[in-house]
A and B are shown apart, each in its own frame.
Chain A
């Protein structure tokens, strides 16, 4: 059905009349749909990477599990720093250590005994807190089967092109992870949820990272393609905490997470460190457990996948022949949709983002725009002139004619 619509667009694109009709009618139809920004395509292999989501879960309660909350908050900070915005992070914290009466530093959470970095600063948005963190809610978030009253901010609104990072930490065992000291998520539940997500086209690629005892066992039932899994320990191994903060009186971070964070602290969002370099950075002797990777469900070569594909929000760049950054936003959006399935070019060097949502986040890009708007305008104009003979020439022609009209209207 969706496929049909797409071909219909293609056919429509040739006639400027239909295009104009669509441009003014289309958005009103599609903006109500939650899938508006991720336009469906024939298969996930050819779907481009549209956006990044992160689901960060701390599953254990109680003061002496302080480190699990610190783990999760550290990861939260890292992915935010690398460019995933708050509205695309589902943060689940099973307890509130910051406000625990036993906390020597009220309203602060640290992941290091040097207390340099307060993880619980001003800008932390916890989506599920306390007793809301249950296996049921977790599975609902993954599969998107929410009750109608659940606000959008608590939903995982990913699409077919989303890369999702799922990070979980807590106490676990052979093929289970404890939630709230009262219930368990089993490997079957996780595999089933991932399968449902795949069927509902809720992700393109999924990275599951788990820091718990015997974490590897949690992945044993996974079947869905596009899933990559990292666990902190093999079956029969424990995951240990990294160090004890003798001021707060609890362990503040787990080893696996600590070394993961150490890896990411060296990076910024433009670094091209690959997933394999992350995986190789784990040293069993410092970890006191063997990190486990499950890659058989994942198609791409790990050396070629930058970590920012999951931990940041840096998309693959797409070279388009036509300028999409026309003064009309609507037009550019539609043009993007139209061209994307056909012309996917991988080029890491050119930092041109196709997605308007990501464009908002990418501050660097914005700065570039502000610096030389005129030059950009000129270059796009030149492009248009060069490609006027091509198949889309009629469309572009129409777009170009709109520019003076708009300029005129803004001047007036």
Chain B
């Protein structure tokens, strides 16, 4: 057998395909990137209609029971609430007492929940620990607190293991008409639910005191709900704060004679939560319902929850349902043209074969893109769009329903009608969730909405992303292969290659990886700087920003000295070029890995990041060489790189975005600081991301000054570690409630590793 001539073993098709793609990496990357962007623009056309996936929900199967009687009661409640405004303020909790009294009259269990809004402070280690550690601030002044009122109706024959939460935020200091109406809607539903026999889950009505922010009140209540505090803090406070003391001994003379329970009342695990808001926006056509769903770090509630709300609102109560849009996109010319193009393509396709359904009307397309963009933006930003975001941190599906009446609700008939329909909508949703046997799990968690009734599922939108990032490993591989070949050919020219040389050659990338790692390290160090800046008292945003900026530039030079100085700068030309190629390929692989990991956790961040990073990675070239060559193509490439980096520089991006949406008049450098600060507050992944791009730009600038092209590529590397940190952070966010312990163990490991 050995004698037969052994033809070169034919490589397997996949290997050949890989080699083919690597050898044509340039055209491949152009095609892929274009296809990726195109696929993103096609998403509204590929969107599917939503459908209710969970059998148990059965929305709209029962007639609503909410009657005019309930509405009249609610009206009385609304009147009483508004009347409080005109009264002189006493101890500051009249509204809570009024609400509690009304709840008690319905036979609900009532308790007050006093909270101190959490001080938003950036703490670097917070990313590695649970959000609850070290947040209890004991020495807050008595005046700075809020009081939530919580009413619980027990399911008469339920097992008490599950609950549905209604949240109505209101400002206890000054109750507006719209807020009072939202309370009234919830009250009408709550009063109905306190009578019905069909409840299987307890109903919690949380009237959250939003004087310190809607989110803070809800998240404080949720924290106390899920993390039992065994020290009786409120009694301590009661001793020091007289008005709190007053809070707990009121209602001794109430009608029922019972005292309001001063502990913390709980029901079971939460099946779903609805945040009800009424805004007085005076819609022209119809009663409107806005659905807000984005929670922190791009997490979404189960699509079924949105589906039932949408179904009931549209088919039962006749609301116009909307989800958030980027309004500015609606007017843009190019989108309209694109929509018309797609529409005509669709017409052509359907004329070929009527079976193929492709293309939607141009107006729908523009709306779809605007909704999709808003959805992407909100998810990528990672800041929840309402108090419902707090629930998602505890794996509770929640959305905010923002009702806006058609005309002004001054007329009493109009108001009654609005209350009735709003109440019936909420009743229907609660009835439906009440039918649920398990947690929401049937439908999608990973989706983007293009309209209230259409969605793009994870399987579709990942294609766009995959196409976008596919060139990275290909180009990295081709660069690496070229560099190796170049190296070996040189070796051949010189002498017969010595054996240890080949071994060393295959380890070339380790050197590059080391550099990338150092730059990453630097990036992360600088991103932690704001923590120290925060310690400076009496700083204005502008000053902070400048300090931050200067510090980062300083640290860049330090890093540069460490990184660049020990190595030779003698051998430029070929050897230099090779090193640069390997460095670039390592950076690209790291970017690729980072983006892919990120896409699993927060798709939108990864997608937007990919849109920025991929072209930058692909086009980056040593600038000095470009300048030296001086041809048109290299110069245009240089210009492209500079422009792209400028756009990618977060403050510039921020200013551009803000200018695009609000006009360039009121722009201040400090705004950026404020924005970043708000991102910390939500421990948003995007924060770190922005940091990453910031340093990316910093490094780019550095590269223009220095003559060493290593650092030119280094900037690309920075974002990698940042992306990784961001992955860790998002991971923590996503799995937190179940994995606090694991993460703490991880913490210990990190601490251990540091001490070593």
Q: Is A153 an interface residue (CB 8 A)?
A: no
Q: Is A104 an interface residue (CB 8 A)?
A: yes
B56-81 interface mask toward A, CB cutoff 8 Å, 1 = contact, 0 = none? Answer: 10100111000000000000000000
B197 touching A246, Cβ below 8 Å: no
How far, in angstroms, from A248 to B200 measured CA to CA in the complex? 14
Residues on the A chain within 8 Å of B55, using CB:
64
How far, in angstroms, from A64 to B437 measured CA to CA in the complex? 10
A246 touching B437, Cβ below 8 Å: no
Pick the contact of A247: B62, B156, B158, B435 (CB < 8 A): B62
Residues on the A chain within 8 Å of B155, using CB:
101
A106 touching B63, Cβ below 8 Å: no
A182-220 interface mask toward B, CB cutoff 8 Å, 1 = contact, 0 = none? Answer: 000000000000000000000000000000000000000
A220 CB to closest chain B CB, in angstroms?
A: 27
Q: Most B CB atoms within 10 A — which of A100, A101, A251?
A: A101
Residues on the A chain within 8 Å of B159, using CB:
101
Given the known interface contacts A102-B435, A104-B198, the answer about A63 and B56 at a Cβ–Cβ threshold of 8 Å is yes
How far, in angstroms, from A251 to B55 measured CA to CA in the complex? 12
Residues on the B chain within 8 Å of A99, using CB:
157
How far, in angstroms, from A94 to B156 measured CA to CA in the complex? 23
Residues on the B chain within 8 Å of A244, using CB:
61
Pick the contact of A249: B61, B156, B437 (CB < 8 A): B61
Residues on the A chain within 8 Å of B61, using CB:
244, 246, 249-251
Residues on the A chain within 8 Å of B434, using CB:
102
A101 touching B58, Cβ below 8 Å: no
Residues on the B chain within 8 Å of A104, using CB:
196-198
A101-120 interface mask toward B, CB cutoff 8 Å, 1 = contact, 0 = none? Answer: 11111100000000000000
A101 touching B435, Cβ below 8 Å: no
Given the known interface contacts A63-B435, A102-B435, the answer about A249 and B58 at a Cβ–Cβ threshold of 8 Å is yes
How far, in angstroms, from A261 to B725 measured CA to CA in the complex? 66
B25-67 interface mask toward A, CB cutoff 8 Å, 1 = contact, 0 = none? Answer: 0000000000000000000000000000001101001110000
Pick the contact of B435: A64, A106, A246 (CB < 8 A): A64
How many B residues face the partner with a CB closer than 8 A? 20
Q: How many of chain A's residues touch chain B, expressed as a range?
A: 10 to 19
Q: Is B419 an interface residue (CB 8 A)?
A: no
B157 (CB) vs chain A CBs: closest residue:
A101
A254 CB to closest chain B CB, in angstroms?
A: 15
How far, in angstroms, from A251 to B62 measured CA to CA in the complex? 10
How far, in angstroms, from A105 to B157 measured CA to CA in the complex? 12
How far, in angstroms, from A27 to B718 measured CA to CA in the complex? 97
Residues on the B chain within 8 Å of A103, using CB:
197-198
A101 touching B200, Cβ below 8 Å: yes
| Chain A contacts with B in 326-377, Cβ cutoff 8 A | none
Q: Is A30 an interface residue (CB 8 A)?
A: no
| Chain B contacts with A in 90-113, Cβ cutoff 8 A | none
A61 (CB) vs chain B CBs: closest residue:
B437
Q: Is A62 an interface residue (CB 8 A)?
A: yes
A272 CB to closest chain B CB, in angstroms?
A: 41
How far, in angstroms, from A166 to B364 measured CA to CA in the complex? 55
B157 touching A246, Cβ below 8 Å: no
B438 (CB) vs chain A CBs: closest residue:
A62
| Chain B contacts with A in 429-469, Cβ cutoff 8 A | 431, 434-435, 437
Given the known interface contacts A246-B63, A248-B62, A249-B61, the answer about A64 and B56 at a Cβ–Cβ threshold of 8 Å is yes
Q: Is B199 an interface residue (CB 8 A)?
A: yes
How far, in angstroms, from A105 to B197 measured CA to CA in the complex? 8
Residues on the A chain within 8 Å of B62, using CB:
246-249
Residues on the A chain within 8 Å of B431, using CB:
249
Residues on the A chain within 8 Å of B157, using CB:
99, 101, 106
Residues on the A chain within 8 Å of B158, using CB:
101
How far, in angstroms, from A248 to B437 measured CA to CA in the complex? 17
B63 touching A102, Cβ below 8 Å: no
How far, in angstroms, from A381 to B61 measured CA to CA in the complex? 67
B431 (CB) vs chain A CBs: closest residue:
A249
| Chain B contacts with A in 142-159, Cβ cutoff 8 A | 155-159
A356 CB to closest chain B CB, in angstroms?
A: 45
A247 touching B56, Cβ below 8 Å: no
| Chain B contacts with A in 565-599, Cβ cutoff 8 A | none
Given the known interface contacts A62-B437, A244-B61, A248-B62, the answer about A101 and B199 at a Cβ–Cβ threshold of 8 Å is yes
How far, in angstroms, from A100 to B200 measured CA to CA in the complex? 8
How far, in angstroms, from A100 to B159 measured CA to CA in the complex? 10
A50-79 interface mask toward B, CB cutoff 8 Å, 1 = contact, 0 = none? Answer: 000000000000111000000000000000
A178 CB to closest chain B CB, in angstroms?
A: 13
B159 (CB) vs chain A CBs: closest residue:
A101
Residues on the B chain within 8 Å of A102, using CB:
198-200, 434-435
B197 touching A62, Cβ below 8 Å: no
| Chain A contacts with B in 22-71, Cβ cutoff 8 A | 62-64
B56 (CB) vs chain A CBs: closest residue:
A64
How far, in angstroms, from A103 to B158 measured CA to CA in the complex? 11
Residues on the A chain within 8 Å of B197, using CB:
103-106
B268 CB to closest chain A CB, in angstroms?
A: 12
B267 CB to closest chain A CB, in angstroms?
A: 14
B316 CB to closest chain A CB, in angstroms?
A: 11
| Chain A contacts with B in 204-257, Cβ cutoff 8 A | 244, 246-251
Residues on the B chain within 8 Å of A248, using CB:
62
B58 touching A247, Cβ below 8 Å: no
A244 (CB) vs chain B CBs: closest residue:
B61
Residues on the B chain within 8 Å of A63, using CB:
56, 435, 437
B437 (CB) vs chain A CBs: closest residue:
A62
A247 touching B198, Cβ below 8 Å: no
How far, in angstroms, from A47 to B56 measured CA to CA in the complex? 49
B58 (CB) vs chain A CBs: closest residue:
A64
How far, in angstroms, from A103 to B156 measured CA to CA in the complex? 11
How far, in angstroms, from A248 to B196 measured CA to CA in the complex? 12
A247 CB to closest chain B CB, in angstroms?
A: 7
B63 touching A101, Cβ below 8 Å: no
B158 CB to closest chain A CB, in angstroms?
A: 5
| Chain B contacts with A in 686-720, Cβ cutoff 8 A | none
B121-161 interface mask toward A, CB cutoff 8 Å, 1 = contact, 0 = none? Answer: 00000000000000000000000000000000001111100
How far, in angstroms, from A105 to B263 measured CA to CA in the complex? 35
A164 CB to closest chain B CB, in angstroms?
A: 32
How far, in angstroms, from A105 to B431 measured CA to CA in the complex? 15
B437 touching A247, Cβ below 8 Å: no
A1 CB to closest chain B CB, in angstroms?
A: 54
A62 touching B56, Cβ below 8 Å: yes
A250 touching B58, Cβ below 8 Å: yes
B63 touching A247, Cβ below 8 Å: yes
B64 (CB) vs chain A CBs: closest residue:
A246
A101 touching B198, Cβ below 8 Å: yes
Residues on the B chain within 8 Å of A249, using CB:
58, 61-62, 198, 431, 435
Residues on the B chain within 8 Å of A105, using CB:
197
Residues on the A chain within 8 Å of B58, using CB:
64, 249-250
Q: Most B CB atoms within 10 A — which of A63, A103, A105?
A: A63
How far, in angstroms, from A20 to B573 measured CA to CA in the complex? 126
| Chain B contacts with A in 185-211, Cβ cutoff 8 A | 196-200
How far, in angstroms, from A233 to B63 measured CA to CA in the complex? 31
A248-287 interface mask toward B, CB cutoff 8 Å, 1 = contact, 0 = none? Answer: 1111000000000000000000000000000000000000
B63 (CB) vs chain A CBs: closest residue:
A246
B62 (CB) vs chain A CBs: closest residue:
A249
Which residues on B are within 8 Å of A, measured CB to CB? 55-56, 58, 61-63, 155-159, 196-200, 431, 434-435, 437
**Other A-B pairs, 8, CB within 8 Å; known A104-B198, A249-B62:** A101-B155, A101-B200, A102-B199, A102-B434, A249-B198, A250-B58, A250-B61, A251-B61
* Nearest 8 pairs of A and B residues by beta carbon: A249-B62, A101-B200, A101-B157, A101-B158, A246-B63, A104-B198, A249-B61, A102-B200
28 residue pairs of the A-B complex, CB under 8 angstroms, read A63-B56, A64-B55, A64-B56, A64-B435, A99-B157, A101-B155, A101-B156, A101-B157, A101-B158, A101-B159, A101-B199, A102-B198, A102-B199, A102-B435, A103-B197, A105-B197, A106-B157, A246-B61, A246-B63, A247-B63, A248-B62, A249-B58, A249-B61, A249-B62, A249-B431, A249-B435, A250-B58, A250-B61
